[in-house]
Structure 1
Amino acid sequence: MKYWFFLAFATISWGLNFHLAKMMLEDSTAMEAGLWRYIFGVGVLLFFLWGDWPKWSAVRSQLRPLFLVGFIGLFGFNYFFFVGLSKTSAINAALIAGLNPATTLILSRFILKTPISKAQIAGIIMALFGVIFLILKGEIFSILNLQLNEGDAWILLANFVFALHSVWVKQYGGVLSNRHFTFLTNFFCLLGFVFLLPFLEFGAITEYPTQYWIAAIGMGGVGTALAYYFWNKGIAQLGAPQAGIFMNMVPLSAAVFALFFGESIRFYHIVSGLAIITGVVIMQLKGRKRNKPVAQA
């Protein structure tokens, strides 16, 4: 049960992240918000890691997996995530993230050779309907004139990259300890933002309001350091497809937190959220017996 708690904690934190990120984007660019998120996130992980450094020989042998999970998976996801959030609402982004279990299941089939049942395919179709309903804002008959909101498109891409990240965590996360693996992959993500520094313009740090730093610390310490630590630990035990069921808590928690951040919830948000969650539950109920727990990383 503790691994279920770990996954639930991570996804609830990510639901809050959508709103904290929107707060940061009111005062800075997407890349600057991402940079500060990972400065604080890696800083917290570094504090917990102090005195227990990974051996260089082990790190060197895992450079390719660390690059895939940390740079492509985490940095790629965060780049698309922050750009998307600057162009769409937190609720829309969170509901699209609810498609992640279906995406993870499909990628697990091709990368990890995880079998997919007919019921799981039905769940994927149901979840996809939910996302389309959201994008169409409930006006199904306007599908012939469908034009993707640019922000929604970026979030869909972020969703795909995060699904890759989850599969790669399952595939490569058993060599290094979870603490080392989580720190190093987040450090690789931070390097991605650092590499962009020469090409970006940043505002003066002293000009940012207090709420900006509260959001940055919250995203970094809780929504990044602790969330990814618990998420990686849960995936190592339960597997990527099985852990994916908890991603339906992202839109739910984001919707609850929206009430505290002044965002309105419309009817099509509720319908699309229910469709996505129903699809996810169908997939996981039928797929749970297929996925046996693995040894803890």
Structure 2
Amino acid sequence: MDTQTKGLKLAYFFAVLNAAIIGFSFLFTKMALVHAHPIDTLTYRFAASFIVLSIPVALGWIKLSYRGKPIFKALLLALMYPLGFFTLQAFGLQHATSAEGGIMYAFTPVVTMIIASLFLKETTTLLQKLSIFLSVFGVVFIFIMKGSSFNLSNLGGLSMLFLTCVAFAGYSVLARSLSKHFSPAEISYFMMGIGFITFLVVSLTKHIQGGTLSQFVALSGNGTFVLSIIYLGVVASLITSLTANYALSKIEASKMSVFTNLSTIVSIAAGALFIGEEITVYHLIGSLLIIAGVIGTNYLGRKKTVPLRADTLKT
């Protein structure tokens, strides 16, 4: 097995692993939000990510070099994810339901496919396009069968949730482009650092103005909150960032993005295992549609993954 094939197989493994981690993150997010404001949760989350990754960097185990590299594009990447994505998600969910958020997030692969075709010149076959829509339909089918629907009075919230799709799609496309210049660790460290500094400034400003700084500090002594943050910060942010950035250096953004819908299946399984939620026939049907869509997107196209070329990196 040659190095390229091994790298591609590892990339697909990381794509599935990411979906599993994100699927479980919904449970831990709910646990954290019981004790803290969304912005405070994000501050602690990215503090954990940045501090943990800083340890091997400080010890010299991970080498970083940003000199002569497109820092402005890396900053744009961080503005889309984590800053744009999580900020839009937090405020969007204040005006819309989590079910509406789940439905909107399912359209991320479609948005990614469009943006990747424009900026990376990625092409997809008709069968791949149909497979992407099949995975999206699988997620939407599950939510609709649960009785979820769109409330147009929440148009502001829905708009922000749709923009989270655009932000994540933009991140996927730009991260693949930047993989030519930065290592996965360099991209991840930059993203985590920008996220940590920005959310920390916002949190501290909010608490100082409100005279509640002691409440912010007290969160570090809450066992349940800290456990949630360890998972969200180290596993759901840091590990997924490293693995996603690696996968995007090997797999087209349009192929990678469809794996996000697998997180719906994992969240269903997690709900059944840990909080006793019922799994019904429509859950199984929707899950099969999602899996079929993921497989179709990645195996019904060209035989080989299109290599990333210099002339496709113009953004």
Farther-moved stretch of structure 1 (196-205 vs 7-16): 196-205
- Is there any run of 5+ residues in structure 1 with no aligned partner, and where? none
User: Counterpart of 2:72 in structure 1: which amino acid?
Assistant: R
Q: Return the alpha-carbon distance in structure 2 between the equivalents of residues 215 and 94 of structure 1.
A: 21
Call closer, same or farther: CA 1:139–1:57 in 2, change over 3 Å: closer
> How many Å separate the matches in 2 of 1:205 and 1:119?
52
Which runs of 5 or more residues in structure 2 are unaligned? 1-8, 310-315
Change (3 A) 1:284 1:258: same
**Are residue 256 (structure 1) and residue 269 (structure 2) matched?**
yes
Largest Rg, 1 or 2: 2
CA distance in 2, matches of 1:179, 1:164: 19
- 1:227 pairs, out of 235, 240, 246, with 240
Paired AA for residue 205 in structure 1 = V
Deviations 1:127-169 (CA, angstroms, capped at 9, x unpaired): 44445545545669x88x8666876665443233111111111
User: Aligned letter for 1:24?
Assistant: A
Report how many residues are paired: 290
- Provide closer, same or farther for how the CA distance between residues 189 and 94 of structure 1 changes in structure 2, counting only shifts above 3 A: same
> In 2, are the aligned partners of 1:34 and 1:79 still within 8 Å (CA)?
no
Tell me the residue number matched to 1:247. Answer: 260
> Displacement, 1:94?
5.2
- Answer yes or no: is the 8 Å Cα contact 1:97–1:159 preserved in 2: yes
User: What is aligned with 1:190?
Assistant: 196
Shift of 1:96: 4.9
CA distance in 1, matches of 2:32, 2:202: 18
Indicate conservation of the 8 Å contact 2:135/2:261, yes or no: no
CA RMSD of aligned residues (A): 3.2
1:57 to 2:67 alignment: yes
Whichever residue aligns with residue 259 of structure 1, its letter is A
Q: Secondary structure of 2:41's match?
A: helix
Residue aligning to 2:301: 287
The answer to whether 1:104 aligns with 2:112 is: yes
- Distance in 1 (CA, whole Å) between partners of 2:22 and 2:126 is 30
Residues 134 and 272, structure 1, Cα contact 8 Å, conserved in 2: yes
Measured after TM superposition, the shift of residue 8 of structure 1 is 2.1
Give the corresponding residue for 1:157. Answer: 163
State the TM-score, normalizing by the size of structure 1. 0.82
- The residue type paired with residue 194 of structure 1 is L
Q: Which residue of 2 aligns with 1:216?
A: 229
Q: Shift in Å at residue 256 of structure 1?
A: 1.5
Q: Deviations over 1:87-138 (max 9, x none)?
A: 644x775565443333322211112111132223323443444455455456
TM-score (norm 2): 0.78
Q: Any idea what SS the aligned residue of 2:123 has?
A: coil
The amino acid of 2:27's aligned partner reads H
Q: Does 1:172 align with 2:186?
A: no
CA contact (8 A) 2:115 2:169 kept: yes
Report the equivalent of 2:312.
none
Letter in 2 for 1:283: T
Q: Could you say what secondary structure the match of 1:237 adopts?
A: coil
SS, match of residue 7 in structure 1: helix
What corresponds to 1:15 in structure 2?
Answer: 23
